[in-house]
Amino acid sequence: MIARLWHGWTTNDNAAAYEVLLTEEIFNGIQNRHIPGFKSIQLLVRPLGDEVEFVTLMLFDSLDAVKEFAGEDYEVAVVPPAARALLAHFDARSQHYVVKAQNDAV
């Protein structure tokens, strides 16, 4: 399994609008693509004084599934124009990790 990690930051004023955009439009758009091997997406949020940090963690079965999502240069961040308008800055490239262990609570 591959974990795709990405960070973006908004101003405090844009944080609520960005969270709504992510959860109601962008996440749904990703799920509606029905990408083979896409498992899940999670949103992590942390206030940082004058900014709010947003982290997305996506899980895929393989790098081929990541490439289906992001393209051949799969590390490039996928940031739609509406999201760019709300972000103060963001990672230009995503990081990818092999998931070696996972323990889900029952």
The three state secondary structure string of the chain is CEEEEEEEEEEHHHHHHHHHHHHHHHHHHHHHCCCCCEEEEEEEEEEECCEEEEEEEEEECCHHHHHHHHCCCCCECCCCHHHHHHEEEECCECEEEECCCCCCCC
Q: Where are the domains of the chain?
A: 2-98
CATH architecture for residues 2-98: 2-Layer Sandwich (3.30)
- CB atoms inside a 10 Å sphere around CB 38: 19
Query: pLDDT tens digits, residue range 55-106?
Result: 999 999 999 999 999 999 999 999 999 999 999 999 999 999 999 998 888 7
What is the pLDDT, as a whole number, of residue 106?
A: 74
pTM of structure = 0.92
19-65 per-position pLDDT tens digit: 999 999 999 999 999 999 999 999 999 999 999 999 999 999 999 99
